[in-house]
Amino acid sequence: MGIPLFDTATHLAPLRDVIRDRISAVIERGTFILGPEVEAFERELAAYLGVRHVVGVANGTDAITIALRAMGVRPGDDVVVPSFTFYASAEAIVTAGARPVFCDVDPQTRNVTPDTVQAAITPRTRAIVAVDLFGLPAPIPELSELGLPVLEDAAQAAGASLNGRRAGSLGEMATFSFYPSKNLGCFGDGGAIATDDDALAELVRALRFHGSRDKSDFQYVGYNSRLDELQAAVLRVLLPELDRWCDGRRAAARGYAAAGLGDHVTLPGAPDGADPAWHLYVVGHPRAEELIAGLVDRGIQARGYYRTPVHRQNAMAPYAPSRSLPATDELARTNVALPMTPTLSAAAAREVVAATVAALAA
């Protein structure tokens, strides 16, 4: 069978009966939109993150768009965003009516830094989108010192922390995706917005429901973007397992290091105080595509991420930066994602490293 890049089944197997029971209860209750499961999950995730409010929405992309709208981003505004990220981080800015201004990232952490963001700030900059890439929190407290509101895109970082604070609690607002392959994934699409700001939370709740607070008076042109009851019921079962699963991901990363992976590829770096959740375990090598092909031939799933950075995508041509983004281009060319799951064993890590050695030798 080999070793998969993702395994969304093994760690869920012991929970399937409970999940079925919760789903059946929702069906029997007959309330499917903005009911007690969503309300309870919002409270439980807020308590986990240590924030005052969580608002469930339909997916992680809508979460960014709605959060930016709530933060006051309007047409004509600029929003700084990294280019080495999933397309949605920038797409959501355009959907909010603003202009993405692409910045570079640090070669070791793959995240933005105050310096890379500062280089992209314009007189029209209204906000910063900081992505916790691959499960490593971005330096958001330092970014906040630039004097602009920071939206933390924590889609890949559920369960991570920075200096004792949970990813998702670091910026003025934060967004999550519960896509099935995420650290905390539901059985379809889902997302959430987290904040400590009462006014922002109230506005987000209106924006997710057509701009209305009571289904009768419509104060804004909003969105039809709601986390549904079935997905919230699933997430309520999974949330208490998140820390244990992230511990498994961190153990897998340690297994790779102990097996000598760093002798053959560049391992991801994490600064002091950061506790990554390793949604993806992404290494670097100048012969990335050759390495991937060799691993796949040996039964190890691997792939490159963001080979075409967002600022080079056709749809983003109107927003392409005039300056170069050298770290982004190099990371896009050389990255290799290796298998990473909560249940990846030390033996499996050794097998991946052995296959890496053989693939590079070939």
How much of the chain, in percent, has pLDDT values that exceed 90? 96
Listed by start position, the domains of the chain span: 10-103+110-240, 242-361
Do 10-103+110-240 and 242-361 fold alike per CATH?
A: no
State the angle between helix axes of 88-95 and 60-70 in degrees (0 to 180), rounded to the nearest 10.
40
- Please, what is the Cα angle at 101 between 128 and 332, to 5 degrees? 100
Task: Provide the pLDDT confidence category of residue 1 given band limits of 50, 70 and 90.
Answer: low
User: Given 3.40.50.2300, 3.40.640.10, 1.10.3720.10, 3.30.230.70, which CATH number is that of 10-103+110-240?
Assistant: 3.40.640.10
Q: What is the pLDDT of residues 300-352, one digit of tens each?
A: 999 999 999 999 999 999 999 989 999 999 999 999 999 999 999 999 999 99
Nearest one of 361, 338, 358, 337 to 348, comparing CA atoms? 338
Q: What is the pLDDT of residues 149-171, one digit of tens each?
A: 999 999 999 999 999 999 999 99
Q: What is the pLDDT of residues 81-134, one digit of tens each?
A: 999 999 999 999 999 999 999 999 999 999 999 999 999 999 999 999 999 999
Q: pTM of this prediction?
A: 0.96
CATH superfamily of 242-361: Aspartate Aminotransferase, domain 1 (3.90.1150.10)
